[in-house]
Amino acid sequence: MYHFQRRESLCSLFNQYKFVTVIGAGGKTSLIELLAHDFKEKGLSVAITTTTKIYAKDPYVLEDSLRYDLLRSRPFIRVGKEIVNGKLHGISEETLVSLGNFYDLILIEGDGAKGKPLKCPTDYEPVVPSVTDIVVLVCGLDAINKTVEDSVFRWELLREKGIDGGEKIDEKRFVELLCGYMLKGINDKQYAICFNKYDMWKNKRSITSLISLLTDSKKPEFILVSSILFRSFYICTEL
C-alpha cells in the first residue's frame, strides 16, 4: 500500500541539498522555476544554471561576468557560459562549485527533451555534475496511452531495442522506458522521481499500480506525484 501526503511547498523537501540536477522530460524547467520561487519565498538564495542549454530568461549572467561583489549579494540569477540562439549554454564545474559557496541552492538542468513527456538519452546525456547531491528525474504521465513516436524525444534510438514508433505506451512500457533508459547517467547519485502531469492522466486511481512497477534495484529517495502547472504535489511513501 502507498500513502500520499500533500505538500504545499517543496522547500522543506529540498533544503537539505545544495546541488540539485533535474533530468528527464515533461516538466523539468517548470519544476526548477517553481523550486526557485519556493526558496525565494522562504528568504533563501537560489541560482539556476545548466550543463546543456536553457532559455536566457531574465535575470541572467554570463559566466565570465560573475564577480565577487555580485555573488556576495546572492541575487536570484540564471547563469550560462554564453548565449546562442536565445539559450544559455552550460557552465564549467569550477564555476558551479563557486556558485555553491554563496547560494543556498543551485538548480541545474541537465537534460533536454523538446517538450516531450519522455525521452531516450543519447550516449552523452544526461550531463550530471560530480558535485550533484541529488538527481530528480521528471517524466510526464500524459505519455501513457499515446504512441512512442508522439511521446518520446529521440524515439528513433529505441528502434534497435525492438520498440516501434507506433506502439502505444502502457504502464509497463512507461516504467520500462523510465528505469531502463531515463535513469541513465546518475551512477551512484541519490535520486528522486517526479511523476508530473497527474491532472492529465484519466486513470488517476491506478497511480499506485504504476509506482509498484518500479523495479530498479536502487530505490529513489522519494517519489513525487505532481501537477506542476497547478502547483499540486504529493509525496508517495510505501506503507
CATH at residue 31: 3.40.50.300
Rounded distance between C-alpha atoms, residue 184 and residue 172, angstroms:
18
Global pTM value: 0.94
User: pLDDT tens-digit profile of 20-30?
Assistant: 999 999 999 99
Q: Is residue 221 part of a domain?
A: yes
What is the extent of the structural domain holding 128?
Answer: 2-44+104-111+123-145+172-238
Kindly state whether residue 195 falls inside one of the protein's structural domains: yes
The Cα–Cα gap between 11 and 190 comes to 18
Residue 193 lies in a domain: yes
Q: Worst-scoring range by mean pLDDT, 24-38, 102-116, 150-164, 195-209?
A: 195-209
> With 0-12 CB in 10 A as exposed, 13-18 as middle and 19+ as buried, what is 161?
exposed
pLDDT at position 213, please? 85
Q: Which three cell numbers stand for residue 193?
A: 522521481
Query: Is position 34 within any domain?
Result: yes
Work out how many domains the chain is built from and give that number: 1
CB of 195 within 8 A of CB of 225? yes
Confidence tier at 185 by pLDDT (50, 70, 90): confident
pLDDT at 232 over 80: yes
Residues 42-61 have a mean pLDDT of 95
Instruction: Give 183: exposed, middle or buried? Use CB within 10 Å, 0-12, 13-18, 19+.
Output: buried
At 131-153, the pLDDT tens digits run: 999 999 999 999 999 999 999 99
The answer to whether position 16 is within a domain reads: yes
Residue 116 domain-assigned (yes or no): no
Confidence at residue 173, expressed as pLDDT on a 0 to 100 scale:
94
Which has the closest alpha carbon to 27: 135, 99, 133, 112? 112
Q: Please report whether residue 208 resides in a domain.
A: yes
Q: Would 99 be classed as within a structural domain? A: no
